[in-house]
Amino acid sequence: MSDALQVAIEPTRDEHLAAAVQSVGARIVGLGEARILVWIGPPSEFPDLPDHVEWVALKTAGIEDFVTAGVIDNRRIWTNASGFYAENVAEHALALLLAGLRQINSAVLRHWDKQPIDTAVRSLHSSTVAIIGAGGIAASLIPRLTASGARVIAVNRSGRPVDGAAVTLPSARTDEVWGQTDHVVLAAPATAETHHLINAKSLATLPAHAWVVNVARGPLVDQNALVAALRDGQIAGAALDVTDPEPPADDDPLWSLPNVIITPHVANPASGLTRVMAPFLAENLRRFAAGEILLSVVEPGRDY
């Protein structure tokens, strides 16, 4: 790139993104000279944009807060990080599901309590796992699950068959899933349609050995119904990276149930975002320079 692209990384410098910019021969400049802004701060600190900024790259997958803050305009290209972190979230979902099935939580809490743990261990292989919201995370999760010997039921909006899934259902038929699956992974955006998707009725239909994994958003689960189902043994357990509210209150019964695993919203660790984003930024800079379509362009009117 002889005519170096001018890129601002704001509001703080970041070594991973700086290396990505330099790796494609672009040049790091201040906002006053930039054609491209890589914004890694919060919406509240977002600057007034000079007209010469043609593309703003945001580091998060969900950009609800930027939409709400009104910073996204239609005078340039905006990209988010949708899909960049799918491998990470898929890996965490697999870790949570296996931790539940293999009783890692009981082992951590109870020490060599062999008999009850031995009889409670379940296998992922030969089981069926339903993924609700079969997008980028599911695309990364399905090969992991099938390599682990599980069969996958995917649920997406259209019902268009998902690669690697044994069955794909449209979201309008989600209620058919509960009686056909061993376990559930929630990976859908939080919308009116997905609100309390896991509720008293779905929990009552799931098998007693089911684990429910949530790496999406807390409101997909009716948490009171979940607590009741976990207490009554309607399902085997829940492994949650997200809750509602987040974190749960100190006296939330979730904390004291033995069949719950809670990780503090770290499926995609905030501390590692820019490291994971860096190669995608480099690819998008290459595409920008070549006049190609960028990855993860924000579609106006879609806020997730």
Write down the residue that tokens 């699950």 correspond to: 145
C-beta of 114 vs 231, nearer to a second copy: 114
Q: Work out whether 207 is an interface residue with a second copy (CB under 8 A).
A: no
Q: What are phi and psi of 121, to 5 degrees?
A: -65, 130
Integer angstrom CA distances of residue 171 from 112, 194, 214: 43, 9, 17
Q: Work out whether 149 is an interface residue with a second copy (CB under 8 A).
A: yes
* Binds a second copy by CB under 8 A, chosen from 4, 19, 104, 228: 104
Q: Work out whether 103 is an interface residue with a second copy (CB under 8 A).
A: yes
- Kindly determine how many residues on this chain lie close enough to bind a second copy according to the rule CB under 8 A: 47
Active site (annotated) includes residue 246: yes
Structural element, H or E, at residue 130 = strand 128-132
Angle of CA points 254, 193, 172, to nearest 5°: 115
Distance between CA atoms of 71 and 83, rounded to whole angstroms? 22
Distance between CA atoms of 182 and 205, rounded to whole angstroms? 11
DSSP 29: -
* Binds a second copy by CB under 8 A, chosen from 44, 70, 271, 291: 271
Q: What are phi and psi of 7, to 5 degrees?
A: -125, 130
Q: Work out whether 83 is an interface residue with a second copy (CB under 8 A).
A: no
Q: Work out whether 147 is an interface residue with a second copy (CB under 8 A).
A: yes
Q: Work out whether 109 is an interface residue with a second copy (CB under 8 A).
A: yes
Q: Work out whether 124 is an interface residue with a second copy (CB under 8 A).
A: yes
* Binds a second copy by CB under 8 A, chosen from 6, 88, 223, 259: 88
Beta bridge partners of 212: 184, 238
Q: Work out whether 262 is an interface residue with a second copy (CB under 8 A).
A: yes
Determine the distance from the C-alpha atom of residue 84 to the mean position of all C-alpha atoms in its chain, rounded to a whole number: 10
Least CB distance to a second copy at residue 192 (A): 27
* Binds a second copy by CB under 8 A, chosen from 30, 112, 251, 301: 112
How deeply is 19 buried, as exposed, middle or buried, from its count of CB atoms within 10 A (0-12, 13-18, 19+)? Answer: middle
Active-site pick, 92, 144, 183, 217: 217
Active-site pick, 265, 275, 286, 287: 265
Least CB distance to a second copy at residue 152 (A): 12
Residues in the chain, overall count: 304
Write down the residue that tokens 């499926």 correspond to: 267
Q: Work out whether 10 is an interface residue with a second copy (CB under 8 A).
A: no
Which among 182, 103, 86 has a CA at the least distance from the CA of 139? 86
C-beta of 1 vs 147, nearer to a second copy: 147
Q: Work out whether 283 is an interface residue with a second copy (CB under 8 A).
A: no
Which among 173, 186, 49 has a CA at the least distance from the CA of 131? 186
Active-site pick, 15, 246, 292, 299: 246
**Which active-site residues does the annotation give?**
217, 246, 265
Binding site for a second copy (CB under 8 A): 87-88, 91-92, 94-96, 98-99, 101-105, 107-109, 111-114, 117-119, 121, 123-125, 143-144, 146-149, 247-248, 255, 261-266, 269-272
